[in-house]
Each structure stands twice: as structure tokens, then as C-alpha cells.
Amino acid sequence: YYIVYAAHGCCGPSSDYDVYIARARNYGGPYEKYSGNPILHGGEGDYKSCGHGTVVRTSDGRMFYMCHAYLKGDGFFIGRQPILQEMEMTDDHWVRFKTGNLAIAEQPIPFVGTKQEPLSDFEDNFKGNQLKVDWTWNYPYSDIHAVLKKGKLFLSGTPKNNNKYGTALCLRPQSPQYSCETKVINTGKGLKGLTLYGDDKNLIAWGIEGDKLILKVVKDDIESVLYDSAFASKEIYLKLEVEQGCIFHFYKSLDGKTWQSVQNTPFKGKSLIRWDRVQRPGLLHYGDKDVPAEFSYFKMKNLK
């Protein structure tokens, strides 16, 4: 019997977990720890840390280990990623990884005729009858109400647990450098627009609120306004760009082609990191549930 397990800290900027193994002749033990532990680790090469996984056996008898890992550098800000590393049994009846004990991103293609797909951009024009499966939402903090009708998304919800910042509909970033844009097609009370979302007390909101365009940062439930400007039109295009995973730029446009920056300097948003999560880009509404935000599309583009 073998136990493959993770040790040390799993989550956040100080994550240093790695993979260990122990074996026993009986399920209940006693277990012998491998003297060469850890059998898989980060800290060098491609990954900051790795662990918390499952071993599976393929139909041809090979073993693979799928686990979480944080990329090093800017890649940390796309959150923990799934990685797949092949294992094998050694002559002395221990298990090791075929590419060594340092987790590396470049692995052999596991099956003949398969290939890895490149990163893809995302777009939802809301012309279907349901949201695309890529979307996630802040269910611990709001009961979401999303309706697709006539090529529009009507987004609202009912906040929970003293959440003051409404309903977020978000995606997971695939790259540390990306942009998101949308078109807001209604005004009125309540805020509607783009967000970079950590949780209900740590987020950025960039949108229309009443007769203003407004950029807000919420940190530990304390709100700061970075930009506000009077706005008279009935619709507006909004965009944000992210570089190095945590440096944010914000833009507005009347036609979706010519973009105007609303800040002289970018905003650094490391405070949006939650214990086991990074910020997620997406759409935000807070205000009266019966007066939803209306959006005509959403795009997320990988910039590098």
C-alpha cells in the first residue's frame, strides 16, 4: 500500500507545498516514509509549489498524478493550475516521477495522436438561451439571477451574509496579461460594469452608477473611489487590461474602437488575492434586484 500526500503550505503567495510518499504492507500501517522525499516539488524551474493530487492508472497500465500547482513569477496570479506528471515503479518498489522530482511544465504527450490546445480567448454575445459553461459566480455571497434575452444579459441577484457589493459573474484568467471588455446598455441607480473580484470585501468595480462613471476599489470592506466622472449617454463600452497578473489599467469608449484611459498611472491590486484564490475578471451588478444590469457582450483576450 502506498500513500501519496502533500506537506507544507498549500495556498497563497507563501505556498511551498510538495509531494511525499510512504508505503506499508498493510492498509492500517505502520507506514515507512521514503528517505528521498519529497518526490515532487517546485521552488525551482516552472512552479512555485505543487501538491494535493490523485494517482490514476490508464488502460495500458501507466500511472499519472494530477495535482494543483502555482506557476512561478507572474503566472502565480492566474491561481492554482492542474498539472499532470507521469509516475513509475522503481526496482526497489518505490514510486517516482519519470521526469524527476522537480515539477516541470513541459511533459511528453501521453497518448499518440493527441495534442495540447493553445490558450483561447473568450467571448459571449449572450445570443443563446443559457450562459456559457466558463462562467462562475460568487455563490457564497449572492444568489445570482442571470437572464439571456434578445442578445442581452440581464444580471442581478440577492446578496447574502451582509454582502454590500452585489452579484459577480466571472471567469478564471488563463494568462497574467489579458484584457476584458463589455458594453453596458442601461443606466439608472445601482452599479453595473466590469469587476476584478477577490471576494465580497475585496474587489474592483468599474462601471456606471447613476449619472456617473465610477472606478471603486474595495479593500477589507473599505471603499475608495479612484475615478468618477459625469456621464450622460445611455450606453458605454468599458475595458480593463491586466499586466503581470496584478497591474490594472481601465478604459472607456463610446464606440468600442477608440479607448480613453481613465487613470494616469495603473493600479496595483495584490490586495485582491484571497487565501486560495486570485482575482477573477467579469461582470458586476449591485443595486435593486428588479433593476438588473444589461450587457450586450463580454470579451476576454489573452495579450501574450
Per-residue pLDDT of the chain (304 residues; tens, 9 = 90+): 999 999 999 999 999 999 999 999 999 999 999 999 999 999 988 999 999 999 999 999 999 999 999 999 999 999 999 999 999 999 999 999 999 999 999 998 888 888 888 889 999 999 998 999 999 998 899 999 999 999 999 999 999 989 999 999 999 999 999 999 999 998 778 999 999 999 999 999 999 998 899 999 999 999 999 999 998 888 999 999 999 999 999 999 999 999 999 988 899 988 898 888 889 999 999 999 999 999 999 999 999 8
Q: Please, what are the domains in the chain?
A: 2-97 (no CATH), 122-302 (2.60.120.200)
Query: Which burial class, exposed, middle or buried, applies to 225 when counting CB atoms under 10 A from its CB (0-12, 13-18, 19+)?
Result: exposed
State the amino acid at position 158 in one-letter form.
Answer: T
Q: What is the pLDDT of residue 293?
A: 96
Beta strands 188-199; 152-159: pairing state: unpaired
State the amino acid at position 55 in one-letter form.
Answer: V
Cα 176 to Cα 174: distance, rounded to the nearest angstrom: 7
Query: Is this structure's pTM higher than 0.75?
Result: yes
Query: Which burial class, exposed, middle or buried, applies to 37 when counting CB atoms under 10 A from its CB (0-12, 13-18, 19+)?
Result: middle
Cβ atoms within 10 A of the Cβ of 109, count?
9
Q: What is the pLDDT of residue 125?
A: 96
**Residue located via cell numbers 470579451:** 299
Chain segment 149-174, per-residue pLDDT in tens: 999 999 999 999 899 999 999 999 99
Which residue, 69, 276, 77, 272, is CA-closest to 168? 272
Asked if residues 269 and 279 have their Cβ atoms less than 8 Å apart, the reply is yes
- DSSP letter, residue 126: S
Q: What is the pLDDT of residue 234?
A: 82
Cα 98 to Cα 90: distance, rounded to the nearest angstrom: 10
Chain segment 41-100, per-residue pLDDT in tens: 999 889 999 999 999 999 999 999 999 999 999 999 999 999 999 999 999 999 999 999
